[in-house]
Amino acid sequence: MRIAVLEHEDDQALSQAMAGFGHECYPYTEGRILLQDLRRQTFDLLILDWRLPDIPGIDVVRSVRNELRSRLPILFVTDQHEDADAVDGLNAGADDFMTNPVRANELEARVNALLRRSYPSQHDAELVFGDYHFYPQARTLKVRGVKVELKNREYELALFLFQNLGRMLSREHLHEAVWGVGVEALSRSLDTHVSRLRTKLGLRPENGFLLLAIYGLGYRLEVVEANALAECLSR
């Protein structure tokens, strides 16, 4: 998973722990820089210290939720016995919190629980998104009961997009999810895979889903509600 960690420059314990758990960790020491990057990059989880040198943690959470309109899962770390921080953070839109000193085993458990709640598991026997049924163990996809022939990376891309419905996914994020970290992938290759999926899966409003290109940033798979579809068809 791609995890952004915002913490003090002289304390990289959270970043080191996430890397040690096997996640792709992106450390930040300034909230301002993180918020700038979140306008063009995407992550699976954000972990942040509550008391930061430049921007208070609560303002970072509010900016993510209100300005960026992001549903990115957020876990924050506050000082022990600061109950007001916990209440304020959760009310601002954070998903969970921990208190210092952070214990590695508890951190890993909370991160895993938050990720399980936020993203459907690939270990499930079947993942259902309307007429689209994924069978992760067999690496197959059926649409209205008919198996769709997909190449390996096409399947990986399709599953990742459906698991992240409604999220704008940066090109870098998609490259890492499909081709792997550190593997060079031509930008045109991603666009080609997306184009093939649109055709093979019929990702059109009449089928309930629309795959959008976000210029200069990446892609987003959206659910098309029935009333919105009826309005489009009536025009």
Say which residue, 232 or 46, is predicted with more confidence.
46
Helix axes 13-20, 104-118, angle to 10 degrees: 70
Q: Of 23-27, 113-117, 128-132, where does mean pLDDT reach its minimum?
A: 113-117
The DSSP bridge pattern shows strands 209-214 and 218-223 to be antiparallel
H/E stretch holding 37: helix 31-37
Query: How far apart are the C-alpha atoms of 129 and 25, rounded to whole Å?
Result: 29
What beta strand segments (E) does the chain contain? Answer: 2-6, 24-28, 45-49, 74-78, 96-99, 127-129, 132-135, 140-143, 146-147, 169-170, 209-214, 218-223
Residue 131, phi-psi category: left (phi > 0), alpha (psi -120 to 50), beta (remainder): alpha
Which pTM does this prediction carry? 0.75
Instruction: Kindly list the structural domains of the chain, giving each domain's residue range(s) and its CATH number in brackets, ordered by start.
Output: 2-118 (3.40.50.2300), 127-234 (1.10.10.10)
Q: Which two tokens stand for residue 142?
A: 């059926």
Across the beta sheet with 74-78, the strand order is 24-28, 2-6, 45-49, 74-78, 96-99
Say which residue, 36 or 116, is predicted with more confidence.
36
Mean pLDDT confidence for 204-218: 91
- The pLDDT tens digits for 2-57 are 999 999 877 788 999 999 999 999 999 999 999 999 999 999 999 999 888 888 99
Closest CA to 160 of 186, 180, 146, 144: 180
pLDDT at 225: 77
